[in-house]
Copies of this chain bind each other. A is one copy, B any other.
Amino acid sequence: MTEPRDDRFDHLFASTVRERLGREGYGSSASPNAEDAVPLTYGFPYPDSFPTAALEAATETVLEEEGADALQYGGGENVDRLRDGLLAREEARGIDATREQLLLTNGATHALDAVCSTFLDPGDEVLVEAPTFVWSLAVLDNRGAALTGVEIDENGLDPDALEATLEAREAADEPTPKLLYTIPEFQNPTGATLSRERRERVLELAEEYDFLIVADDAYGELRFSGESPPPLSALDDSGRVIRLGTVSKTIAPGVRTGWIVAHEALADQIGGMAAGGTNTFTQSVLGRYFDAGHYEPTLDDLLAGYERRRDAMLDSLERHLPPGSSWTEPAGGFFLWVTLPAGVDTEELLPLAAEEGVTYLPGERFFVEDGRGTRSARLSFSHCSPEDLEAGVAALARATETYLE
């Protein structure tokens, strides 16, 4: 028995919080972790992926050479090195940005939150992919956004569906959405990448319908095969793309450092709304890490590690899942999206799966609307060893077969 929630202060909460008290919020569902089960649940990097020795060396150099600056408000020259290192990475991907356009943040979610604060009044409309990253839904929801999902397929966000949504809103005299939140590269949760042609159409629609595009690029540097289309920012002549980056997947989540690249007229105001300073100690360590040349070789190792995991998972899915199942085959990133045979409800399946030895995030949690994605689940291949991935997929197959019996 759980104790009843203490509601004595409920009347003092903001309206977004009060509304949430009466319903389940995004990301607040029961945690699907279970002891002894293979966690295909979260987008955790695999433990061996972290460059601990290089970070240790970088920390030592930073503290010995510029300790007082690195620990002071604003940081010192290693923070500038981080800025330069990130801008160089962006340039390599075709994005020409100045230091004034780059804002350092405490991770990509902090970045998204700052963007929300800058643009959204409560009730403002935001378009998101259907499905999309559940924690971003939570952040948008916390900021009072009204959310509408737009279809996505194996080539990413569908521009026809986007245009239809925009036209329908216009015809109904509803306000134009202010923001489109998209994950163009190895999308979370589907693994899809937005095609070049679609990128251009999405940019045209942004200009035509006067909205901004928030492009969350957490996974873009983790491509195992094929060629990446240019990031939206590299194709953007209008200044409408707000790009979010993070080193959580390419260095480590614990160093909690992200960034925003945006048109200066936007970056100025986002900077003013990003509450609080950032962690100059960590930024200095990362600046030194970039400057010492650790980033690229580490990334090469990561690519090999993640590709091996993706291959193991695809191979396991092929061998174990029952007929009627399908899944995406991402060329990079952390996740794929599996759809189980007709009759399966992945939320209902979860306790059974946990008992069999695997956990995952049910598909429905990634949609704005209820009742969608109920046959699907996000599987993360980023965290486990290839052997555990195989065991997890086998457990998912057993649970599915038992469920369908």
Contact = CB atoms under 8 A, between A and B. Distances in A.
Interface of A: 5-9, 12-15, 17, 20-21, 25, 28, 42, 44-45, 47-48, 50, 52-53, 55-56, 59-60, 63-64, 67-68, 70-73, 75, 106-110, 112-113, 117-122, 124, 139, 142-143, 178, 210-212, 239, 252-256, 263-266, 269, 272-273, 275-282, 284
A77 to B, nearest CB: 13
A116 to B, nearest CB: 8
A281 B269 contact: no
B117 A14 contact: yes
Contacts of A265: 5-9
Contacts of A282: 256, 279, 281-282
Contact of A52 (B56, B67, B253): B67
A142 B277 contact: no
Contacts of A263: 6, 9
Contacts of A70: 254
Contacts of A21: 269
A50 B71 contact: yes
Contact of A73 (B53, B59, B254): B254
Contacts of A284: 254
Given A73-B254, A113-B275, A282-B281, A68 B48 contact: yes
A276 B111 CA distance: 9
Given A45-B72, A106-B106, 19 more contacts: A7-B265, A13-B118, A14-B117, A14-B124, A21-B269, A44-B72, A47-B72, A48-B68, A50-B68, A52-B64, A52-B71, A55-B71, A59-B60, A71-B254, A107-B276, A108-B276, A109-B275, A254-B284, A255-B281
Contacts of A13: 118-119, 269
A13 B39 CA distance: 40
A280 B107 CA distance: 12
B67 A50 contact: yes
B266 A9 contact: yes
Contacts of A277: 107, 109, 253, 256
Contacts of A255: 71, 279, 281
Nearest to A58: B59
